[in-house]
């Protein structure tokens, strides 16, 4: 009830604004209350207002009304207050009762002055602007639509679907209904788009920093072939290098046509790193191709299960392969919960490591934990395949090569069996590759380098053990990655003490010329070509 009352008070404060409107309203009510004439009007206005406040502010009635109309629109209840009627009626009464024209004109002037001083100019609102054309739409909208129409006619293009900044998205179809949009006002008001691709386009367009590669991927999947963006915020060369052609522009916006069709992404995979911004480390990746295939890597904690389930569902609900690098709780926890009650989620294959028994893991590393590992062992997974060092396999054309998994050699090199026995693997698409180091640590660095050498090299790397206390610097230097993924929150990325090595490894990868991704900017995405 206390929360309900606080919510109502917050809505009232928003309605009250500067307070002058309600102060004037209450002053008028007091005047009506003390005056002797027209008691019926006094009872009507004052009585109604008192009854309104009792109903609206009393937590029980407020909760009942919120349950009926929704808590998000409860603030509209204040529209029922007769503020305009009471103020106007009182003003008329005061003028009528004044003696003499001079006094009445003086009172009228004072009333108008009070109205001006206590009110705000409606046209100061951002929803109003001077008209720029006969359509009363932003001129940029008109120019962009005209450029698209002209280009489409010249090139025989009948399908026109535009992505542009959210400020203009709401007005494009007002001017030209023939230009489609991936989302409209309902998405900008907080509702979900009809497709996941459209939702991701909106996410990227609403972000301060744009992942152009991912944006064009989603545009292609959503069949968007035109793009308009502020000319002073991006150079033409950047977008042209991503497969766009400039077709026109005005002083404010450049308009591009997307040359790449969906088929241009055949054999390529969109890799997404998800993260927790609340300060928890975990590992959760999805890999998607343009045909709807989905691969999941780990998933995070038991408490992340609902989130992972939601992500998988919006991506189609069909997992072609789920990779579990090792049964630590920040890697396999979500999977163990989801697999117990998969619902409509379908999982074709599960790949994991045949890890040492929990007892042996704890005997070697008493500080470790095996709660999720124990739950993992209770699961019956018919589609499970245990992988071993040197194994190779493919999932929908994506090649996997396993460099590390628990075996006797791990026992000889390390006591940290769960981490150092986790699955290190490389995925290779048409031209590019990414190395996933899971939680493999420094004990294994020299051995893996000596065993595999240049075969470990990759375009992208997921840093060992979240980038903290993982593999040696020599190992990371040998990979030659141009981007490094740290599965770590801000506090771990920026910790300057001697306990963690995340910041040291961040500097190391940056010095190697690699882009650094962490949970601070998640979801982070690259396209594996």
Domain 266-522 homologous superfamily, CATH: Ribonuclease Z/Hydroxyacylglutathione hydrolase-like (3.60.15.10)
Q: How far apart (Å, rounded) are the C-alpha atoms in residues 410 and 369? A: 18
For β-strands 398-404 and 346-347, DSSP reports them as unpaired
Length of the chain: 529
Q: How far apart (Å, rounded) are the C-alpha atoms in residues 396 and 53? A: 64
Residue 120 has pLDDT above 80, yes or no: no
Q: What is the pTM of this model?
A: 0.75
Residue appearing with tokens 């909106």: 202
Nearest to 62 by CA among 16, 10, 1: 1
Report how far Cα 13 is from the mean position of its chain's Cα atoms.
30
Lowest mean pLDDT among 47-61, 206-220, 437-451: 47-61
Q: Average pLDDT, stretch 506-514?
A: 96
Residue appearing with tokens 């704890």: 362
The tens digit of pLDDT for each residue in 358-412 reads 999 999 999 999 999 999 999 999 999 999 999 999 999 999 999 999 999 999 9
SS3 218: helix
The tens digit of pLDDT for each residue in 407-442 reads 999 999 999 999 999 999 999 999 999 999 999 999
Residue 72 has pLDDT above 90, yes or no: no
How many CB atoms within 10 Å of residue 473? 15
Helix (H) or strand (E) holding 251: none
Q: Which residues contact 287 (CB under 8 A, 6 or more apart)?
A: 269, 270, 271, 272, 294, 295, 296, 297, 398, 427, 528
Domain boundaries, the chain: 2-124, 139-263, 266-522
Q: What is the pLDDT of residue 129?
A: 65
The tens digit of pLDDT for each residue in 258-302 reads 987 888 899 999 999 999 867 899 999 999 999 999 999 999 999
Q: What is the pLDDT of residue 162?
A: 96
Q: How far apart (Å, rounded) are the C-alpha atoms in residues 69 and 85? A: 25
Lowest mean pLDDT among 29-38, 178-187, 231-240: 29-38
Q: What is the pLDDT of residue 41?
A: 74
Residue 131 has pLDDT above 90, yes or no: no
The tens digit of pLDDT for each residue in 11-63 reads 888 888 778 888 888 888 888 888 767 777 777 888 888 888 889 888 889 88
Query: What proportion of the chain, given as a percentage, has pLDDT over 70?
Result: 97
Q: How far apart (Å, rounded) are the C-alpha atoms in residues 28 and 23? A: 9
Nearest to 144 by CA among 234, 253, 244, 243: 253
Q: What is the pLDDT of residue 113?
A: 87
Residue 507 has pLDDT above 70, yes or no: yes
Q: How far apart (Å, rounded) are the C-alpha atoms in residues 262 and 275? A: 28
Q: What is the pLDDT of residue 107?
A: 84
Angle of CA points 461, 464, 468, to nearest 5°: 120
Measured between alpha carbons, how far apart are the two ends of the chain, in Å? 55
315, 287 in Cβ contact below 8 A?
no
Angle of CA points 125, 128, 130, to nearest 5°: 130
Mean pLDDT of the chain: 91
pLDDT band at residue 496 using 50, 70 and 90 as cut-offs? confident
Give the CB-side neighbour count of residue 427, counting CA atoms within 13 A: 30
pLDDT band at residue 124 using 50, 70 and 90 as cut-offs? low
Task: Copy the structure tokens of residue 42.
Answer: 């006094």
Q: What is the pLDDT of residue 123?
A: 67
Q: How far apart (Å, rounded) are the C-alpha atoms in residues 374 and 519? A: 28
Peptide bond into 24 cis (omega under 30): no
Residue 134 has pLDDT above 80, yes or no: no
Q: What is the pLDDT of residue 135?
A: 66
pLDDT band at residue 469 using 50, 70 and 90 as cut-offs? confident
Q: Among positive and negative, which fits the CA dihedral 201, 206, 207, 211?
A: positive
């Amino acid at each position: 009830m206390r929360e309900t009352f606080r919510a109502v008070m917050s809505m009232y404060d928003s309605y009250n604004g500067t307070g002058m409107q309600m102060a004037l309203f209450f002053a008028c009510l007091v005047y009506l209350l003390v005056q002797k004439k027209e008691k019926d009007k006094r009872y009507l206005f004052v009585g109604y207002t008192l009854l309104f406040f009792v109903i609206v502010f009393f937590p029980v009635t407020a909760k009942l009304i919120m349950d009926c109309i929704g808590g998000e629109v409860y603030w509209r209840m204040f529209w029922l207050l007769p503020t305009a009627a009471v103020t106007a009626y009182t003003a008329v009464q005061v003028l009528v009762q004044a003696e003499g024209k001079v006094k009445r004109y003086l009172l009228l002037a004072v009333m108008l002055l009070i109205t001006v001083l206590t009110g705000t100019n409606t046209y100061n609102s951002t929803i109003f602007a001077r008209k720029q054309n006969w359509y009363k739409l932003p001129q940029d909208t008109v120019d962009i639509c005209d450029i698209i129409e002209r280009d489409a006619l010249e090139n025989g293009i009948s399908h026109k679907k535009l992505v542009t900044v959210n400020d203009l998205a709401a007005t494009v179809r007002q001017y030209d209904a023939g230009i489609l949009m991936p989302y409209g006002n309902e998405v900008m008001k907080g509702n979900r788009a009809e497709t996941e691709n459209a939702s991701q386009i909106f996410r990227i367009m609403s972000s301060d920093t744009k992942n152009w590669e991912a944006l064009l991927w989603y545009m292609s999947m959503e069949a968007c072939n035109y793009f308009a963006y502020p000319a002073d915020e991006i150079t033409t060369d950047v977008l042209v290098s991503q497969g766009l052609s400039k077709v026109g522009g005005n002083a404010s916006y450049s308009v591009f046509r997307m040359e790449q069709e969906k088929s241009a992404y055949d054999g390529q995979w969109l890799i997404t790193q998800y993260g927790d911004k609340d300060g928890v480390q975990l590992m959760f990746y999805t890999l998607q191709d343009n045909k709807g295939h989905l691969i999941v890597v780990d998933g995070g904690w038991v408490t992340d299960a609902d989130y992972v389930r939601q992500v998988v569902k919006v991506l189609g609900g069909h997992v072609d392969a789920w990779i579990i690098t090792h049964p630590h709780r920040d890697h396999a926890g979500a999977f163990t919960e989801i697999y117990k009650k998969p619902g409509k989620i379908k999982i074709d294959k599960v790949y994991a490591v045949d890890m040492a028994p929990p007892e042996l893991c704890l005997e070697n590393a008493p500080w470790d934990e095996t709660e999720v590992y124990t739950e993992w062992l209770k699961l019956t997974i018919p589609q499970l395949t245990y992988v071993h060092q040197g194994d190779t396999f493919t999932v929908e054309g994506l090649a996997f090569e396993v460099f590390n998994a628990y075996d006797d050699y791990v026992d000889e090199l390390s006591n940290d069996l769960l981490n150092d026995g986790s699955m290190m693997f490389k995925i290779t698409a048409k031209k590019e590759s990414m190395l996933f180091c899971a939680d493999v640590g420094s004990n294994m660095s020299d051995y893996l380098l000596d065993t595999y050498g240049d075969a470990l090299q990759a375009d992208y790397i997921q840093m060992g053990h979240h980038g903290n206390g993982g593999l040696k610097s020599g190992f990371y230097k040998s990979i030659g990655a141009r981007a490094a993924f740290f599965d770590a929150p801000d506090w771990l990325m920026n910790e300057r003490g001697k306990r963690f090595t995340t910041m040291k490894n961040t500097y190391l990868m940056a010095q190697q010329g690699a882009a650094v991704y962490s949970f601070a900017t998640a979801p982070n995405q690259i396209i594996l070509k």
